[in-house]
Structure 1
Amino acid sequence: MAVKPDMLCVLWSIGLVSMLTLCSGTPTPITVQSKAGNIMGFQENVVVDGQQKTITKFLGIPFAESTAGVNKFKKPVPKAKFTGTFDARTESNTCYQGSEPMEKAIEGSYGLKTTYSDDCLKLNIYIPGSVSTITPKPVMIWMYGGGFIQGSTLLYQPDGLVSYGDVIVITVNYRLGMFGFLRDSQGHFPGNQGLWDQQLAIQWVNDNIESFNGIKDNITIFGQSAGSASVLFQAMYPGNRGLFKRVIAQSGTPFSFWAIANESTSDQFIKDEGCVSTDVVTCLQSKDSETFVNNNTYAFGPVIDNDFLISTPSEIINGNSSKSQMAREFFLSVDIVVGVNNQEGFSAFVYFWKPKNALNDTSNNFTISHSLFKDQVVPNVANVSLPPLVSERTKAIVEELLYFTYTNWQNPMNAAALKSNGIALYDDAYMNAGTIKSIAGHAALGSGRTYLYELGFQTLYHLSGMSGLRGWTHGDDIPFVFGFPLLEWPNVFGKKQNFTTTEIQISKSMITLWTNFAKSGDPNLPTTTSVRWPEYTPSSQEFLTTNSSWFMVGQYFHPQRMSLWNDIIPSVIQQSVNQQTHVECTTKTPIDEILVG
């Protein structure tokens, strides 16, 4: 089964959470003088963890010029210094989403009304306390998820994280879909515009954050899903050296098969838009952005452009070429936390394999047959996760390996095991294998610290709305990192959410671990926690994990399954390539004929 772009967005945009706080008192205006000019924000009182706290907010600050007209599909242009005082007391416009259904999802599923615009490259700053009286604070810059085709800063209100964690949090809008990732094979468009947006925002923060009492030499970038892959991409761009020290990547890496797009997507898009003349750039820039949104059915994302991404992630981390040396050295120098939830593949598995007449059933009570698992689930995973142009023979071998590894041979027809193993298969293909590849390379060669986690609490709250889950699915960690359970009136998608005492404590501990790392590079310091999170090393391979209700230390992350994905399957593919190359050299058979079987 082919995975459509909109499906992936729905499945992997799950970091999107609407959080509301009840503010007491009238917001107090406050103006800061920065290198970007005078900026007016406001102070307000909020209730966090049962206590009234002050948070200072600066919303909708533009860090780049509008991307309309001649700036459309191009790298961002730094915003000129403000003349007068910029009013930063209102949330910014949202960047156009990758398709019209994605815009409706934000407005419908999340109950938010917003204006979509080309003038959307803006950021929000949240400061614990009064900016004029606090001591300088560490800074955390958030990149949202959404499959690179959906997302908005409107969906992330970090009051709990800011106040309880005592850090400055900044949320960033970046371009999505064709607006953020258009790159054709002819080089008319640069590609990775969305990554350049993020990079310019990081540069803006580094240039200006001292005016907001942030510590410019203590900046951590963090994100979830596509935002998680994004922050690791940022750690592979050597132009960021000196702009941040640490990275927290939650559920997504550059090694995830969905994180790198193909330029052919852009070529087909340009052709379908009728812009095949010599002046392709002018043709596309002259079109109204809304028409692209209404008509878009393409999968856009980061590409290897030999500029931002100088080479493949594998070559950058594990290679030895001089071309990627600076990128490799920078990646290995930063401190990183990389992790997943224990049922990352659940949402994708349910979407594709739950009976369609039961899609509205939130009980999670469904089963799959052995024939469905073997003949459809396994081939689907092999099809979407293998590189293009592998031979049918190679694909068949990989399918056999997957079927063998993810089958309970003591009882291969057991419905519960088929479902559980099917979810594990999606876990590994979508998230886990890439996570271990990223963490292992960094731990083996890096000078920066390396930490790994897998979380799976038995909580009542799940972003998917499903009940009866054994742990956390994709995105379930976001409300807890952002301190949602600590707010006086937690509200998710327009509905009040009641959190248990255990869930509140989980949120507090996660905030402490995350902000400890941001402050010191060690999640165990400066504030002590009830669990000590060990550093991941090639010899110990220890990581933070959980039982049903609390943290614990694990060792050796699904070693057999990870060896399959990161050692055995790549070896099978490489042997196939070597055999095909040998046949081509000896028989002069056209490569296109070899690759089809």
Structure 2
Amino acid sequence: MVGRGVRGWTLAAVGVAVLALAGCVVGCGARAAPVAEDPVVSTRSGPVRGTEAAGLRTFQGIPFAAPPIGEARWQAPQPVEPWREPRDARTPAPMCIQSPHDPIPGPQSEDCLYLNVTAPSSARPDKPAPVVVWLYGGGFYQGNAAEYHAGRLAGAGDVVVVTPSYRLGIFGFLRLPGLPDAGAFGLHDQQTALRWVRDNIRSFGGDPGNVTLAGESAGSMSTCGHLTSPSAAGLFHKAVMQSGTCLVEWPPYPAEGRGYTPYEPPAAVEATSTATAAELGCGVPAEVLPCLRGKSTAELAERMYGFSPSYGSSVLPEDPAMALRDGRFHHVPVMVGTTRDEARSSITGEVPSPLPPDAYRELLAEEFGADAAAVAAEYPPVEGDNGPSYAQIHTDRTWAYTTEQALDAFSARVPTYGFEFADREAPLYEGMVEKAFPYGAYHGSDVVYLFDIGGVEAAFTDDQRRLAAEMVGYWARFAHTGDPNGPGPPGWPEYGAARHVQSLAPGAGGIGAAAYSTEHRLAFWRALHGTAGSR
């Protein structure tokens, strides 16, 4: 079904782009023999040995929970078994299990609850730096924390960056009757990592009282979910959401105008889980969980798709979308934004190319039902390729419209900064090839302006490199103070009554007010769904 396919490819686009093409991260080889200069830091579980170079200290593969294997499969994270001798933390741990149908380079394991710390050498316990905890994207079925090399953000921004892994797909979000915290194990992992930060980060020179939770795509949606989670109270003090909030939706849209969301009703995920268990020969209700725990990792990895977080657990007691709209979230400063052309890269391979007018109209009818004629009138079909129009519809409705709704909800209660990453010549990830039309500022294109994926800086022009430095400055200042403003780059007003969205693009005049509402036809979508107009 095309509608459900749209949901899948949109949610996971950056996971495919970053992970399938980046290759093994720097340092994936054999562990080197320790040298006297290697820094050793004590944690509550035991000491860890990292590396130090170019003004940065790096620690990789630090366990923040026990391996979720055997009887611990589909349980809340358990405490780490302590150790006494320095643990080698100079190379990354295996990533969490991914689907074999989207092959990702590098080792994978169910034993994957590890995190990485990148800290300025100048940060120390008596002079702690702000902390950024980064949650990777990948549709909740892909992602690798170790790919996000944070040297520029940590060094130039004077922040400590932590990148944890979390369980994915069927391992992270299975939901069965009577299973505690079902449907949210991956989110539970993320909160356990935040508690590790609270309890240990001062030893690495980080300030546990100044933590910013940030993420992109599924990591951004996770961040929004934690903002509504009672059990996350006090674990972070600011939040950054890049391409995803609690309100993002994918078609098909029923009559009330709400589509699929990243946080599914418990019954929906339970139905998917029960059907999957039956397919695996585990259909007897009283025996389903022991039966599934007896299945091999490979058997379960074949069924990674169709699982995303659900609410109705201790981690997420209620629908995050409802909580956000009603103001039931942790009142901390937020930065929230999208890329200008979110959906352009995502539709590759999902719809015919070129997309003829009749097929275009059929897609709109399937996805928008009774509203299809109104959508077609606003985005009229052409005789040639309708792929660009189809991509624009999903950039506007799926991403920009829902992001504006989230910005409205946040700004009514907390300091809120909106942004649009708008570099339409953004570098492609290695191996990415543009198809029928340019990808522009595609989903995930902003990530390489903050992180060196796989340890390699993107092929920037001079103007793009300056934009990357300015973005690092904005993000770091927000982590320090809750306000991205400071000397140097153009000012960034709060979202406020004017609905200010900061455009982030290279070159003279590239940073300033975006024409966000006009670019994305938000007046049309507000009218269609009966939501608030311009204030």
Q: TM-score, normalised by structure 1?
A: 0.77
Q: Is the 8 A contact 1:143 1:172 kept in 2?
A: yes
Amino acid at match of 1:65: A
Structure 1 residue 476 and structure 2 residue 434: aligned?
no
1:544 aligns with 2:513: no
Match of 1:286 in 2: 294
**Contact 2:146–2:163 (CA under 8 A) maintained in structure 1:** no
Whole-angstrom distance in 2 between the partners of 1:256 and 1:207:
33
Structure 1 residue 35 corresponds to structure 2 residue 44: yes
8 Å contact 1:19–1:490 — kept in the other structure? no
Alignment check: 8 A CA contact 1:269 1:298 kept: no
Distance in 2 between residues matched to 1:522 and 1:85, nearest whole Å? 38
The higher radius of gyration belongs to 1
Q: How does 1:12-51 map to 2 (within 5 A)?
A: 12-13=14-15, 14-16=17-19, 28-43=37-52, 45=53
Q: 1:221 to 1:424 in 2, by over 3 A?
A: same
Alignment of 1:220-259 (within 5 A): 220-257=212-249, 258-259=261-262
Closer, same or farther in 2 for the Cα pair 1:440/1:185, shift >3 Å? farther
Provide the rounded CA distance (Å) in 2 between the counterparts of 1:18 and 1:452: 33
Matched residue, 1:68 = 69
**Structure-2 separation of matches of 1:119 and 1:553:** 45
The residue number in structure 1 matching 2:175 is: 183
Contact 2:231/2:314 (CA < 8 Å) preserved in 1? no
Q: Name the one with the larger helix percent.
A: 1
8 Å contact 1:61–1:122 — kept in the other structure? yes
Secondary structure of the 1:557 match is helix
Partner AA of 1:437 in structure 2: Q
Matches within 5 A, 1:328-407: 328-331=327-330, 333-355=331-353, 367-376=354-363, 378-382=364-368, 395=369, 397-407=370-380
Question: Which residue number corresponds to residue 95 of structure 2?
Answer: 94
Residue in structure 2 matched with residue 562 of structure 1 by the alignment: 522
In the aligned structure 2, how far is the partner of 1:502 from the partner of 1:20? 27
Amino acid at match of 2:343: G
Deviation at 1:184, TM superposition (A): 2.8
Match of 2:405 in 1: 437
The one-character-per-residue Cα deviations of 1:37-86 (angstroms, maximum 9, x if unpaired) are: 2222221x2xxxxxxx2211111010100110111011111224333332
Structure 1 residues 458 and 251: alpha-carbon distance in aligned structure 2, compared to 1, 3 A threshold: same
CA distance in 2, matches of 1:246, 1:567: 32
Checking the alignment, whether the CA contact within 8 Å between 1:182 and 1:266 is kept in structure 2 is: yes
CA gap of 1:460–1:312, structure 2 versus 1, over 3 A, is closer
Compute the displacement of 1:462 (Å). 2.2
Would you say 1:413 and 2:422 are equivalent positions? Answer: no
Contact 2:239 2:333 in 1 (8 A): yes
Per the TM alignment, residue 428 of structure 1 is displaced from its structure 2 partner at its CA by 2.5
Structure 1 residue ranges without an equivalent (≥5): 46-52, 108-112, 320-327, 356-366, 383-394, 492-496, 572-597
For 2:253, the equivalent position in structure 1 comes to none
Mapped to 2, the partners of 1:64 and 1:305 lie a distance apart of 23
Does residue 299 (structure 1) correspond to residue 302 (structure 2)? The answer is no
2:230 corresponds to which letter in structure 1? P
Matched residue, 2:135: 143
Q: Does 1:513 align with 2:474?
A: yes
Q: CA deviation at 1:200?
A: 0.4
2: CA distance, partners of 1:461 / 1:134: 40
Change in Cα spacing, 1:568 to 1:184, as seen in structure 2 (3 Å) is: farther
**Contact 1:260–1:301 (8 Å) recurs in 2:** yes
> Aligned partners of 1:226 and 1:157: how far apart in 2?
18
SS at match of 1:101: coil
1:206 to 1:236, Cα distance in 2 relative to 1, 3 A = same
Which stretch of the first structure deviates more once superposed, 171-180 or 75-84? Answer: 75-84
Equivalent position SS for 1:95: coil
2:524 and 2:83 map into 1 onto residues whose CA distance is 55
Give the drift of 1:287. 1.6
The 2-side partners of 1:137 and 1:456 are apart by 30
SS of 1:371's partner is helix
1:350 counterpart SS class: coil
Residues in 1 aligned to 2:391 and 2:78: alpha-carbon distance in whole angstroms: 43
Superposed displacement of residue 399, structure 1:
1.4
- With over 3 angstroms needed to count, the CA separation of the structure-2 counterparts of 1:79 and 1:186, relative to structure 1, is closer
- Following the alignment from structure 2 to structure 1, what is the Cα–Cα distance between the partners of residues 191 and 174? 17
Aligned residue type for 1:371: D
Q: Find the counterpart in structure 2 of residue 316 from structure 1.
A: 323
Report the equivalent of 1:11: 13
Give the distance between the partners of 1:435 and 1:499, measured in 2 at CA: 28
Distance (whole Å) between structure 2 residues aligned to residue 490 and residue 189 of structure 1: 38
Identity of aligned residues (%): 28
Partner amino acid, structure 1, of 2:382: M
**CA distance, structure 2, for counterparts of residue 533 and residue 15 of structure 1:** 29
Give the whole-Å Cα distance in 2 for the aligned partners of 1:548 and 1:31.
Answer: 40
User: What does the per-residue CA deviation read over 1:1-24, in whole Å, with 9 as the maximum and x for residues that have no partner?
Assistant: 4344875565342454569679xx
Q: Which residue of 1 aligns with 2:494?
A: 535
Provide, for residues 386-436 of structure 1, a one-character-per-residue CA deviation record: whole Å limited to 9, x for no partner: xxxxxxxxx2x12122222222xxxx53647x4443221011233222212
- Count of aligned pairs between the two proteins: 499
TM-score under structure 2 length normalisation: 0.86
Q: Secondary structure at the match of 1:220?
A: strand
Distance 1:18 1:479 in 2: 15
Cα 1:566/1:279, change in 2 over 3 Å: farther
Matched, 1:451 2:417: yes
**CA gap 1:556/1:118 in 2 versus in 1, 3 angstroms:** closer
Per-residue CA deviations over 1:193-232 (Å, capped at 9, x if unaligned) read 0000000000110111111110111100111110110111
Partner of 2:395: 427
Q: Which amino acid aligns with 1:265?
A: T
- The runs of 5 or more residues in structure 2 that have no matched partner are 28-33, 250-260
Question: Does the 8 Å contact 2:504/2:511 carry over to 1?
Answer: yes
The 1:128–1:381 alpha-carbon spacing in structure 2 relative to 1, beyond 3 Å, is farther
Output the amino acid matched with 1:344: E
Cα deviations across residues 373-395 of structure 1 (Å, max 9, x unaligned)?
A: 2223x23543xxxxxxxxxxxx2
In the alignment, residue 198 of structure 1 is paired with which amino acid? Q
**2: CA distance, partners of 1:433 / 1:213:** 40
What is the alpha-carbon distance in structure 1 between the residues aligned to residue 46 and residue 403 of structure 2?
41
